[in-house]
Structures are given as C-alpha cells and as structure tokens.
C-alpha cells in the first residue's frame, strides 16, 4: 500500500473529520436539521412561541449537539462516546494516562495542530461566507416570506442560523470530538480510522 503524501499526514485530524462526516452523513445531517429547525422556530419565524416552548426547544437543540459529539467520540455509538468521555474526565487512572498522552502529543505534533486548525478556519470562513451570501445576496429570504413560509416578523437571521446549524456547527462538533480522539491516541496517525478501544 502506498504511503499517504506528507501533506495528508499533517492533515490527519481535519481529513478524518471530513471522512467521518461522509461516512455518517445522514445521522449528522439529521441532528443538524433538528437543531436548525429548532432555531428557526425559536426566532419566531413560524409565529410567536411561549417562553416554555423556547426553553424546550433550547434543550432539544443542545441535546442534539451533545448526542452528535458523543456519537463521534464513540465511533458512531453514543453509549461508547459517553463511556469514553467518562474515562477522559472522571475515572482517575485513565484520566491521568489520557491527559499525559495528550500533553505529549501536543508537544510532538505542534505543526500538525497549527496546520489542522488553519485548514479548519479556512473551511469555516468559506462556509460562513457562502451562508452570508445566501442570506443577504439572494432572494431566498424574500421568497420564503412572500410565499408565507416565514412570518412577516422574521429576519435574515432565520436563514443564517438555519444553514449554520446544518453545516458549520455540526462540522465544528465533529472536528472538536476528533481532536480529543487525536490527542489521546484514539485516532490512528496517518490513516483515517479510529482505534476501537475505550
């Protein structure tokens, strides 16, 4: 098997995030869509809602994000993700071992860390730019209002937050979860797969 190019070696964490999203797109998109619709309703885009409904929607939105984060940490298994999180932050013996390894990896892979963060920021900036264009430079918002899909009192924030919740926010959560796996040695260096051990 041919070795991956040096650039790919340094981008393992970022490319791993993209690979995970491709492999589990439906689950990630579904959780993002749930959050996106929740935000749209919170903004009163379909009409006014009560304080209780607002709080209930906030719980649903945040729960969807937590589930996504755990889903990634557990290699597409929420229960395993929760167990891994406990080992990282609660169980004393494994916590010390994992964070010692994380400290070592951060020192050893500083260049990789910078490159991956820079790559992520470029992607995030590009996606946010496209969402801004969609919200402010197209007729999507006005079309939705004219067809009475959105309430008259709604604003461009409806478009902005909906598309952020189905794109850059899920991508960020996947990226952050894989970062935790990467620094604690649960993400195999130079290959885009996970080490299936808690």
What is the pTM (predicted TM-score) of this model?
Answer: 0.87
Q: Which of 29-33, 90-94, 127-131 has the lowest mean pLDDT?
A: 90-94
Task: Say if residue 195's pLDDT is above 70.
Answer: no
Q: Which of 80-84, 136-140, 147-151, 190-194 has the lowest mean pLDDT?
A: 190-194
Average pLDDT value for residue range 87-106 = 83
Give φ, ψ of 49 to 5 degrees.
-130, 160
Average pLDDT value for residue range 92-103 = 82
Contacts of 36 by beta carbon, 8 Å cutoff, 6+ apart: 161, 162, 163, 164, 165, 166
Give 4's DSSP letter: P
What pLDDT score was predicted for residue 198? Answer: 46
Q: What is the pLDDT of residues 39-71, one digit of tens each?
A: 999 999 998 999 999 999 999 999 999 999 999
Among residues of the chain, what percentage have pLDDT more than 70?
A: 90
């Amino acid at each position: 098997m041919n070795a991956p190019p040096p650039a790919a070696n340094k981008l393992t964490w970022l490319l791993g995030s993209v690979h995970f999203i491709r492999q589990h797109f439906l689950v990630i998109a579904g959780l993002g869509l749930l959050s996106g619709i929740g935000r749209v309703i919170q903004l009163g885009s379909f009409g006014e809602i009560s304080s209780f409904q607002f709080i209930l929607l906030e719980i649903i939105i945040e729960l969807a994000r937590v589930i996504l984060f755990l889903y990634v940490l557990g290699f597409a298994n929420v229960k395993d993700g929760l167990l891994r999180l406990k080992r990282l932050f609660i169980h004393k013996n494994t916590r010390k071992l994992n964070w010692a390894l994380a400290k070592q990896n951060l020192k050893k892979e500083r260049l990789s860390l910078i490159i991956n963060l820079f790559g992520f920021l470029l992607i995030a900036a590009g996606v946010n730019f496209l969402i801004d264009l969609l919200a402010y430079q197209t007729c999507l918002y006005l079309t939705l209002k004219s067809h009475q899909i959105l309430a008259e009192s709604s604003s461009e924030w409806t478009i902005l937050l909906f598309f952020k919740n189905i794109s850059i926010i899920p991508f960020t959560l996947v990226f952050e979860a894989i970062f935790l796996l990467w620094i604690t040695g649960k993400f195999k260096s130079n290959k885009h797969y996970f080490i299936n051990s808690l």
